[in-house]
Amino acid sequence: MADSAELLEIDGSVLEGGGQILRNAIALASLLGRPVQICRIRAGRDKPGLKAQHNAGIQLLLQIVKADCCGCQRDSQTVTFRPPPAGAGSVSAIAGGDYSEDIGTAGSVCLLVQAALPVLAFADSPSLLSLRGGTNVDFAPPAEHFTGTLAPLLESTLGLRFRLSLARRGFYPRGGGQLALEVTPAPRGAPLAPIRLLDPGQLVRVTGVAHACGAIPARVAQQMASAARQLLLTALGSNTDPTAFSVDIVVDKSSQSVGNGCGISLTAHSSTGCLLGANAIGRRGVPAHDVAAEAVNQLLADVKRGVCIDVHTQDQLVIFMALAEGESAIRVGPLTLHTRTAVHVAEMLTGVKFSVSEDTTKPGKTDGDGEGNCVLSCRGLGLKRD
Ligand SMILES: Nc1ncnc2c1ncn2[C@@H]1O[C@H](COP(=O)(O)OP(=O)(O)OP(=O)(O)O)[C@@H](O)[C@H]1O
């Protein structure tokens, strides 16, 4: 790791080149007390620079960390973020408390959680965040991916304690959904435990939620849930216990959600405690059956690969692997571009080195995509507060 007072320049256009670089960079900078300048932010996207969701993520961290920030406004392509310095080997002063942020568009509230959660995990007291924006939108985790897959996974592996409550769903284009995040920080002097997920085990059950909100008829949620159960039973064989698949149906009237939307989110539970998530959002003209099939096919692809986490969760664990103490190791499918980007940013800021080795238990090609599984590992910083 370079001198912690030196401004670290991060090219926001590399690899995936999206908002994730910014979120991970400012979260790690906040924890490590490390000034960073992120330039060429989202340079490769149609509309480069900070969109409402990215700016809201910075504003949220500015409340929590009391950093100085330059270029923190919509459309800015360069942000300089100077948090208060941290003592060697320990975290910067992070104040727990009540915070709120309203994206003002359908930008994803889950991506605000992505930015804030690693930081609040090391706060000096518990925190409660009230977040407004999109809860079930394209190209971001739906709220149910967090509640059903990511939250239980982070709790069972890292020992990180937090609770997400979805008060109101909000959809594109209005947003307006409400998500609350309560975080109980790691105790003083205690680092996060390493993430070790190497044995995919056997599939024991699939849980999920199918929702239909606003003007979308209730039958759409029912059709998605029953199609998902049927597709899973067909794919996994008639000997499978049908009670192993349960998809809850949520129907919100217009007064209970903002806008109209539907979708399905599934979690596969393995005998070894692995959780794999998959989801799909309903679109106009796409039958409920096909939306369910999209989520089921994603889920089955990961189950058949014999991996321990799903394709979307991969990149979201990287920052925690870098912060945890000791050797984290996870059996994954081919690394996504998001994962490689998260590794790049984590290595730059923390000095932790990640390695990727071929999965010797399941070598060779899988599922015809030309790439095999691998084990992603690192020895984390073991960050803790004094
Ligand atoms: N369907 C999904 N389920 C779960 N997680 C998802 C899903 N789609 C995307 N994600 C996650 O959401 C994050 C999206 O990051 P990304 O940088 O692409 O988005 P962004 O901040 O909106 O920026 P940009 O607009 O530049 O793409 C990643 O962590 C990705 O793994």
**Final residue of a structural domain among 273, 305, 337:** 305
| Cβ atoms of residues 215 and 289 within 8 Å | no
CA distances (Å), 204 to each of 158, 197, 246, 270, 275, in order? 23, 17, 12, 5, 11
Q: Is 107 in the pocket of ligand 1 (CB under 6 A)?
A: no
Identify whether residues 342 and 193 lie together within a single domain: yes
Identify whether residues 260 and 293 lie together within a single domain: yes
| Cβ atoms of residues 258 and 175 within 8 Å | yes
Identify whether residues 193 and 314 lie together within a single domain: yes
Helix orientation angle between 19-32 and 52-65, rounded to the nearest 10 degrees:
0
pLDDT single digits (tens) 93-139: 799 999 999 999 999 999 999 999 999 999 999 999 999 999 999 99
Whose CA is closest to atom 23 on ligand 1? 19
Give 149's DSSP letter: I
Q: Which residues pair with 177 in a beta bridge?
A: 133
Identify whether residues 213 and 140 lie together within a single domain: no
Residue range 85-95: mean pLDDT, rounded: 76
Identify whether residues 193 and 318 lie together within a single domain: yes
- Strand arrangement, sheet containing 79-82: 8-11, 36-39, 79-82, 68-70
Q: Which of 137, 92, 95 is nearest to 112 (CA)?
A: 137
Q: Is 316 in the pocket of ligand 1 (CB under 6 A)?
A: yes
Angle subtended at Cα 107 by Cα 104 and Cα 111, rounded to the nearest 5 degrees: 120
**Index of the ligand 1 atom closest to the CA of residue 342:** 29
Q: Phi/psi of residue 175, each to 5°?
A: 70, -135
Q: In total, how many domains does the chain have?
A: 4
What pLDDT, on a 0 to 100 scale, did the predictor assign at position 367? Answer: 43
**Index of the ligand 1 atom closest to the CA of residue 336:** 31
Angle subtended at Cα 314 by Cα 76 and Cα 73, rounded to the nearest 5 degrees: 10
- Residues assigned a catalytic role: 338
**CA atoms of 162 and 121, how far apart (whole Å):** 9
Question: Which residue among 79, 312, 335 is best mutated to probe the pocket of ligand 1, counting the most ligand atoms within 8 A of its Cβ?
Answer: 312
CATH number at residue 301: 3.30.360.20
pLDDT single digits (tens) 196-248: 999 999 999 999 999 999 999 999 999 999 999 999 999 987 677 878 899 99
Q: Is 132 in the pocket of ligand 1 (CB under 6 A)?
A: no
Q: Is 20 in the pocket of ligand 1 (CB under 6 A)?
A: yes
Q: Predicted confidence band at 89 (pLDDT cuts at 50, 70, 90)?
A: low
Token pair belonging to 149: 């897959």
Whose CA is closest to atom 11 on ligand 1? 140
Residue range 167-182: mean pLDDT, rounded: 96
Query: What is the domain range of residue 325?
Result: 189-197+306-386
Q: Is 339 in the pocket of ligand 1 (CB under 6 A)?
A: no
Give distance in angstroms: CA of 293 to centre of ligand 1. 21
Identify whether residues 213 and 299 lie together within a single domain: yes
Q: Which amino acid is at 209?
A: V
Q: Is 344 in the pocket of ligand 1 (CB under 6 A)?
A: no
Q: Which pTM was predicted?
A: 0.95
Q: Which of 40, 99, 97, 95 is nearest to 67 (CA)?
A: 95
Q: Is 315 in the pocket of ligand 1 (CB under 6 A)?
A: yes
Question: Which residue among 105, 137, 139, 336 is best mutated to probe the pocket of ligand 1, counting the most ligand atoms within 8 A of its Cβ?
Answer: 139
Residue 158, SS3?
helix
Give distance in angstroms: CA of 19 to centre of ligand 1. 8
Q: Which of 175, 174, 172, 153 is nearest to 164 (CA)?
A: 153
Give distance in angstroms: CA of 39 to centre of ligand 1. 20
pLDDT single digits (tens) 308-356: 999 999 999 999 999 999 999 999 999 999 999 999 999 999 999 999 9
Identify whether residues 298 and 321 lie together within a single domain: no
Q: What proportion of the chain, given as a percentage, has pLDDT over 90? A: 85
**Index of the ligand 1 atom closest to the CA of residue 312:** 31
What pLDDT, on a 0 to 100 scale, did the predictor assign at position 90? Answer: 67
Nearest-Å Rg of the Cα atoms of the chain is 20
Q: Which amino acid is at 157?
A: T
- Beta strands at 257-258 and 261-270: parallel, antiparallel or unpaired: unpaired
ipTM above 0.95, yes or no: yes
Identify whether residues 252 and 274 lie together within a single domain: yes
CA distances (Å), 50 to each of 60, 74, 79, 92, in order? 14, 5, 9, 25
- Beta strands at 161-170 and 98-102: parallel, antiparallel or unpaired: unpaired
Residue 63 marked in a binding site: no
Q: Is 145 in the pocket of ligand 1 (CB under 6 A)?
A: yes
Q: Predicted confidence band at 13 (pLDDT cuts at 50, 70, 90)?
A: very high
Residue 114 marked in a binding site: yes
Give 357's DSSP letter: E
**Index of the ligand 1 atom closest to the CA of residue 310:** 4
- Beta strands at 161-170 and 127-133: parallel, antiparallel or unpaired: unpaired
**CA atoms of 61 and 359, how far apart (whole Å):** 37
What pLDDT, on a 0 to 100 scale, did the predictor assign at position 378? Answer: 98
**Final residue of a structural domain among 71, 93, 115:** 93
- Beta strands at 196-197 and 325-332: parallel, antiparallel or unpaired: parallel
CA distances (Å), 64 to each of 9, 77, 286, 377, in order? 22, 23, 42, 30
Identify whether residues 227 and 275 lie together within a single domain: yes
Span between the terminal Cα atoms of the chain, in Å: 20
Whose CA is closest to atom 31 on ligand 1? 312
Give distance in angstroms: CA of 241 to centre of ligand 1. 34
Residue 315 marked in a binding site: yes
The residues, any chain, with a CB within 8 Å of residue 28's CB and separated by 6 or more, are: 34, 118, 319, 322, 345, 346, 349, 350
Beta strands in 171-224 (DSSP E): 177-184, 196-197, 203-213
Give distance in angstroms: CA of 125 to centre of ligand 1. 29
Q: Is 379 in the pocket of ligand 1 (CB under 6 A)?
A: no
What pLDDT, on a 0 to 100 scale, did the predictor assign at position 86? Answer: 82
Give distance in angstroms: CA of 342 to centre of ligand 1. 12
- Strand arrangement, sheet containing 354-358: 196-197, 325-332, 374-381, 354-358
Identify whether residues 376 and 318 lie together within a single domain: yes
Residue 20 marked in a binding site: no
CATH number at residue 73: 3.65.10.20
**Final residue of a structural domain among 131, 154, 185:** 185
Identify whether residues 257 and 330 lie together within a single domain: no
**Please, how many CA atoms are within 13 Å of residue 336, restricted to the half-sphere of its CB?**
17
Identify whether residues 205 and 301 lie together within a single domain: yes
Beta strands in 305-348 (DSSP E): 325-332
Give distance in angstroms: CA of 42 to centre of ligand 1. 13
